[in-house]
Structure 1
């Protein structure tokens, strides 16, 4: 399914790059909490789902913008020269990276232009604008917003802050993996969402370069399963936008992994699996009703894999699942809170 592309080889990030990123983002990004999923609290909320492992939740919704995306965006903008920041920065994003770049731009006095799909959730659009982002809307495919951003770079001289395919973005996201290695040194398995691959490539790099023995797996919707196909075919596959936009996980609709991200994933990731839309929604409900974490569907794919597909995953006594963000559409949140358990 989809097109495949050849890939140039780029240098992988190093542990020194991750530590440098940690220093840049300190004081802006927070060291997010790690919380155990309580089986008794799940049962009390009406969920009859057997747990085969201890499950711990890395709550990236605690970041100032409600998503892990601030780590990479801030690291990239902070790495620019004063001259580059004076030209303004631009990115293309369905929502969370948009907020990250707008936040970083505002903090460092740089104009931030964001190319977003018209289908982006209203709450993410409004949050980006509230942070000072100048928003340009295009169609739903991730390829459309990338092309528009590149046109605006050529026209205005903005500096591109890619959503995932950039060493500073990967190193920023890798600080999440470094924290997990420190907070859960005895973890057997770490699960990360995957779309363009920024978070998965970063988390896996942080985990493995820190010396942890934990396995790292990616998780994505079946309806946007390009990363799974790419990983097992060992070639970069692109899915058409009319397929990846079907998933409710709006942050995971990217049509292909980034090239640098794919290289890191092939080096550091142990596997990728998919989950259904029903499993994503049920995992979102578990987080809403049986924890103190507010997730968006994109952030619940990891818990969906841990709850419903332990047979596909490596045997593990302790699993850390990255809940990548909490910017859920308010109407969906209300619908899930009132649904019968």
Structure 2
């Protein structure tokens, strides 16, 4: 069980290696949705995403002997960067399995931190097979992108900061992929302000979490087709159990709604964000009648964008 004390300890442990990211507001967006939105800008975080929190906490939890053998993971991007950064910081090797269709900006960043990248087919069995081979050959410590208490505990530090910055928030929204951030946020909210309701936004084109949330078992998405490339993984039993206990609801949004929210953030807030991290905003806009007059925290999860894709996102 992840405790309040564990989250507090993780926060102190990772503080020297992360940014305490700002919280921004926008009066135009507030007026549009009829609520007060507070954006926790993890797009300004080290490595450009919240993933450094969990990755760094997991790495710092290892013994010197484990660290010396190197770190390994599989990830399409932001967790890969987190482990690569952690490895460089700790002076050890990183072995990162990435799908061959991973965004170039994320692959280049992982390589930039000195990690060895091993490409695989873009599916979960291929990821796991390649990862298992690397671990067997090197003895490197595997840090899972989300199915790991150390990682979830690190991700929980984000909402802890948000609550400290904006103590009056009533609701927190995150995107959901594998559920590491959502489960960490749900636990953090429960421990640091139990009255907060936690919600998630999910793309229609990767809608596994909402099915799992309803059925109580890990489900697969009926189809996968979304620009929110950071949300393609399915929940684990670990993250699902936390989410079902502490999350109020999950909302689906379409590709058109994601693109509209992305355009809104770019045009009104003037900040660079990934499609994945505007999914919660798209959900708040879509269901604004449910959230009228509320104070809502939204975690903007990252800003690692392949600029070549702008034309595809905004050509309609």
TM-score, normalized by the shorter chain, greater than 0.5: yes
Deviation at 1:234, TM superposition (A): 1.6
Match of 1:189 among 148, 168, 171: 171
Partner Cα distance (1:229, 1:71) in 2: 28
Q: Tell me the distance in 2 between the aligned counterparts of 1:309 and 1:260.
A: 28
**How far is the alpha carbon of 1:144 from its aligned partner?**
2.0
Q: How does 1:91-240 map to 2 (within 5 A)?
A: 91-239=73-221
8 Å contact from structure 2 (residues 284, 291) kept in 1: no
| Local SS of the residue matching 1:26 | helix
Aligned twin of 1:284 = 262
Stretches of structure 2 lacking an aligned partner (at least 5 in a row)? none
The answer for the alignment partner of 1:269 in structure 2 is 247
TM-score (norm 2): 0.95
Is 72-81 or 286-295 further displaced after alignment? 286-295
Distance 1:19 1:317, change over 3 A: same
What is aligned with 1:9?
none
Q: Distance in 1 between matches of 2:144 and 2:100?
A: 19
Query: What are the Cα deviations for residues 211-238 of structure 1, in whole angstroms up to 9, with x where unaligned?
Result: 3411001111011010010001122213
1:6 aligns with: none
Q: What is aligned with 1:5?
A: none
More divergent stretch after superposition (95-104 vs 138-147): 138-147
Quick check: 1:15 aligned with 2:4? yes
**2 CA distance for matches of 1:88 and 1:164?**
19
Provide the rounded CA distance (Å) in 2 between the counterparts of 1:317 and 1:261.
Answer: 27
Change in CA separation of 1:335 and 1:292 when aligned onto 2, cut-off 3 Å: same
Give how far 1:142 is off.
3.0
Q: Which residue is 1:7 aligned to?
A: none
Alignment match of 1:329 (pick from 283, 289, 306): 306
State the Cα distance separating 1:21 from its structure 2 match: 0.7
Q: Map Cα deviations across residues 151-199 of structure 1 (whole Å, 9 max, x no partner).
A: 2212321110100000110000000011122122211211001100000
Say which SS state the counterpart of residue 135 (structure 2) adopts.
Answer: helix
Q: Where do 4+ consecutive residues of structure 1 move more than 6 Å? A: none
> How many residue pairs were aligned?
316
Q: Does structure 1 residue 32 correspond to structure 2 residue 21?
A: yes
Deviation at 1:335, TM superposition (A): 5.8
Q: Deviations over 1:240-278 (max 9, x none)?
A: 7xx33x111110011x20221112112211111111111
CA distance in 2, matches of 1:137, 1:272: 32
Which blocks of at least 5 consecutive residues in structure 1 are unaligned?
A: 1-11, 44-48
Q: Distance in 1 between matches of 2:293 and 2:178?
A: 26
Q: 1:306 aligns to what?
A: 284
* Secondary structure class of the residue paired with 1:321: strand
CA RMSD of aligned residues (A): 1.8
Inter-partner Cα distance in structure 2 for 1:183 and 1:20: 19
Q: 1:316 to 1:158 in 2, by over 3 A?
A: farther
Residues 181 and 212 in structure 1, CA contact (< 8 A), matched pair in contact too:
no
